[in-house]
Structure 1
C-alpha cells in the first residue's frame, strides 16, 4: 500500500509541476476580483504546507527557504509581502525536490505517531505522519483548483 501512496503522490505532484511550467510567469501575481491570493502564492503555499505536514509537524528540519513561511504560510497574502517572492522556477524546484525527500523520510513510517497531535486551521487533527501526508493530497488539489480558477479569470478578462 505504501508504494501505491507514493505513486499517487507522483501523479498529484506531477499535475502541479506541469501546471507551474505551463502558466506564464507574467500571470503569477495578478489577483483577480474575488480572490485573496495569486497563482504564485498558491504554488508556494502548496510547497510550504506539504513540507510542514511531512517534516515540520514530525519534528524534523524543514528544507524550504526560510521566507516560505512568511510568504506562503496559512493566513498570509501577497498584499502583505515586504520582500521579493521566489520565481516560478525556484518554487518548481522546491516542489520537485520534495518528492524524493518525502519518500525517503516516510518509507516505513506512515503509521508513526507524531511527537504531538497536530490540528490544522480546519480543525482536523492528525496523529500519524501518514495521516498528515495524505491530507496534503487534498490540500494540493484544492489549491490547484484555485490556480485554475484564477488562471481562467485572468484569461477571460483579457
Structure 2
C-alpha cells in the first residue's frame, strides 16, 4: 500500500508542477471574480499545508521559512501579504524538493497513530492521503482559474 501512496504523490505533484510551469507571472497574480485567492497563493498553500501535514511545519520542519504560515496558511489571502513573498519559481523549486523529502518518509510511519485525531483521521497514512486529496483539490482550482484568466 505504501508504494502506491508514494507513487500517487509523485504523479500528483508531477501534474501540479506541470500546471505551475505553464502559468505566467501575470496569470499567477490575478484573482478572478468569485475566487478567494490567486494561483500564486494556491501554489504556496499546497506547499505549506503539505509541509504541515507530513513534516510538522513549522515546529518540526526547517525546510520552509516560518513566514509561509502568514502568507499561505489556512484563512490567509494575498490582499493581506506584506514583506518578503516568494516568487512562483521559488515555490515550484520548493515543491520539487518537498517531493524528495516525502519519498524518503519510511513506509512504517504510515501505520503510526496520530497523537490526536485530525478531521477524523487517525493514522499518519490517512493524513498523507488527506494531503494528496488537498493537493488535487487545489490543482483543480488552479486549472479552473487559469481558464478564466486571459493574458
Q: TM above 0.5, one fold?
A: yes
Tell me which residue corresponds to 2:67.
Answer: 67
Q: Counterparts of 1:9-88 in structure 2 under 5 Å?
A: 9-56=9-56, 60-88=60-88
Partner in structure 2 of residue 127 of structure 1: 122
TM-score, normalised via structure 1 length: 0.88
- Other-structure match for 1:137: 132
Scaled by the length of structure 2, what TM-score is found?
0.91
Offset of 1:105 from its aligned partner?
A: 2.4
Query: CA offset at residue 62 of structure 1?
Result: 4.9
Partners in 2 of 1:54 and 1:95 — Cα distance?
A: 13
RMSD: 1.6
Q: Is the 8 A contact 1:106 1:129 kept in 2?
A: no
- Contact 2:19–2:143 (CA under 8 A) maintained in structure 1: no
Alignment size in residue pairs: 150
- 2:4 matched to which residue of 1? 4
Give 1:84 deviation, angstroms. Answer: 3.4
Runs (5+) with no aligned partner, structure 1: 119-123
Please list every run of at least 4 consecutive aligned residues from structure 1 whose deviation after the TM superposition is greater than 6 angstroms. Answer: none
1:96 aligns with 96
Instruction: Tell me, yes or no, if the aligned pair for 1:112 and 1:130 is still in contact at 8 Å.
Output: yes
Any stretches of 5+ residues in structure 2 without a counterpart?
none
Q: Secondary structure at the match of 1:20?
A: helix
